Amino acid sequence: MPVTFEDFNFNRQILDAVAAAGYTEPTPIQQKAIPPISNGQDVMGIAQTGTGKTAAYVLPLLMKLKYAQGEAPRALIISPTRELAMQIEENIKAYAINTDLRTVVLYGGLGPKTQIEQLQKGVDIIVASPGRFLDLYIAGHIVTKALQVLVLDEADKMMDMGFMPQINRILEVVPRKRQNLLFSATMSDKIHLLAGNFLEFPTVIEVTPQATPAQTVVQKLYFVPNMKTKINLLKKLLEDPESITKLIVFCKTRQSAEDVFKFLERKFGHEQVKVLHANKGQNTRINSINSFKNDEVKILVATDVASRGIDVSAVSHVINFDVPVVIEDYVHRIGRTGRALQSGEAITFCAPSEEYYLKKIEKLIRQKIEILPIPEGVFVEETGYDERQEQNKEIDLQIRKENPDFKGAFHEKKISNQKSNVPKKKDERKFKSPKAARGKKLRNK
């Protein structure tokens, strides 16, 4: 096994760029993936975020392309989100700084005019979200005949987000003869199906058991009865500013993210907290990420739009304010900390209606998360009527997923009430009309 980047036979331009980026030893995924990729093999890599997988395919890709050539792209990297696409482009620029290779990133959320102008200047590597790539291809702005390498990054997330039709369409418009690389954090049935259609006798690399969190992340769990108590617990945990130096708070919905952001903004001031979710404009989202990356703000509140591909160094803590419904997102959320062999801490708040997903997460990661008691001084609020009703409905839906015949606690209560209102048989006889009674006597004769 190579122990330095020198052992991969990279040229001096790449080795200098890697050294300038501060990397001295290749990570396990890089040690295993770089040799077969450099040899032209199709590769399927299973690795959680924060393991260095972007460099695992970018470095041999740069070595393969070497220098700018022609006008049409020779490599295409597809990513599920604009944030990840931007992150990949940043990595490519850092590693290709000593070359003249040209990279263009394509994503939706803003007009395509600037992206089209960049493509017209000539490009070697395109990094794109599936929808924007197809839009520009169909409009005639991208020629694919020179493509040599196609990379699908975070393929499992693309499946979850419903991008399979776009992926299949992309596979139809790229050259049949090419090198294919697929990277995913989980190995689901959908990924198996995609791999079968996409890869030719691939080298399969799995650096850790699939969907396991990085070993550098300490996981903790609090059972919390309701939203208000979650806020109280969050407030308590943030009272020690020295231990939590850089924090991402993940929320399940945009509304939840806004509520948490407003609370933290009141507590710390708007200059210390940013929020990131799909309702925010593209420029706002980019500014929020950059402010957090550059240590201008200490806390980022986000929905799962930011759980993958945001490579921010030295994130000390991740707090799952809500348990994710897409259980694979748990691995990607907590992968924001403990990156590049640094230690990190992931804390999860779990309400009664979220225990169903928690059990599935523990089954997925094949380990139990350490349960901690709610700290002293945290006021445990009474669960309000509306929130309790919502939790009960959610629990009913979860039970029904496992047992389709289950009618639900609300249904059972309704049936019970209906039965209690049915008159007894002797009461029915009592209220029968005299005419009905005479008719019965005649029939008996």
In this prediction, residue 430 carries a pLDDT of: 45
Provide the domain count of the chain.
2
Let me know if residue 420 belongs to a domain: no
According to the model, what pLDDT value does residue 237 have? 92
Q: What pLDDT is attached to residue 427? A: 46
Burial class (CB in 10 A: 0-12, 13-18, 19+), 197: exposed
Q: Which of 329, 349, 383 is the C-terminal boundary of a domain?
A: 383
Q: What torsion do the CA atoms of 348, 354, 357, 359 make, to the nearest 10 degrees? A: 80
SS3 per residue for 343-372: CEEEEEEECHHHHHHHHHHHHHHCCCCEEC
Helix, coil or strand: residue 263: helix
The number of helices, as runs of H, and strands, as runs of E, in the chain is 18, 14
The per-residue pLDDT for 71 is: 93
Same domain, 193 and 266: no
For residue 92, the enclosing domain spans 5-206
Pair 171, 42 in one domain: yes
Q: Are residues 173 and 275 in the same domain?
A: no
- Strand ranges in 52-134 using DSSP code E only, listed in sequence order: 75-78, 103-106, 125-128
Partners of 344 in the beta sheet? Answer: 217
Q: Tell me if 149 sits within 8 A of 179, measured CB to CB.
A: yes
Residue 281 shares a structural domain with residue 341: yes
261 and 371 housed in the same domain: yes
- Could you tell me if residue 32 is inside a domain? yes
- Would residue 356 count as lying in a domain? yes
168 and 72, same structural domain? yes
Any domain includes 392: no
- Residue 401 belongs to a domain: no
Structure token digits, residue 97:
């700084």
**Is residue 224 domain-resident?**
yes
Same domain as 294, residue 146: no
CB 77 within 8 A of CB 128: yes
Task: Give the end of a domain, one of 148, 171, 206.
Answer: 206
207 torsion bin: left (phi>0), alpha (psi -120 to 50), beta (else): alpha
Q: Please check whether residues 273 and 379 belong to one and the same domain.
A: yes
Q: Do both 198 and 237 map to the same domain?
A: no
pLDDT at residue 216 in the model: 77
For helices 164-173 and 130-138, what crossing angle results, to 10°?
40
Is 337 domain-assigned? yes
One domain, residues 194 and 254 = no
Domain stops at, among 354, 383, 412: 383
Q: What is the pLDDT of residue 304?
A: 79
Whether residue 47 is contained in a domain is answered as yes
The CATH number given to whatever domain includes residue 286 is: 3.40.50.300
pLDDT in tens, the chain (445 residues): 457 898 898 999 999 999 888 788 888 889 999 999 999 999 999 876 667 889 999 999 999 999 999 999 999 999 988 888 988 999 999 999 999 999 999 998 888 999 999 999 999 999 999 999 999 999 999 999 999 999 999 888 888 788 889 999 999 999 989 999 999 877 777 787 788 878 888 899 887 655 566 677 899 999 999 999 999 999 999 987 677 888 999 998 888 999 999 999 998 888 889 988 766 666 777 788 888 888 888 999 988 765 555 667 778 899 999 999 878 788 878 887 876 567 789 999 999 999 999 999 998 888 899 999 999 999 999 999 999 999 999 999 888 888 877 766 555 555 555 555 555 544 444 444 445 555 544 455 4
Question: Can you give the pLDDT at residue 49?
Answer: 65
233 and 116, same domain (yes or no): no
Residues 131 and 11 reside in one and the same domain: yes
Helix axes 189-198, 164-173, angle to 10 degrees: 10
Inter-residue contact 125 to 89 (CB < 8 Å): no
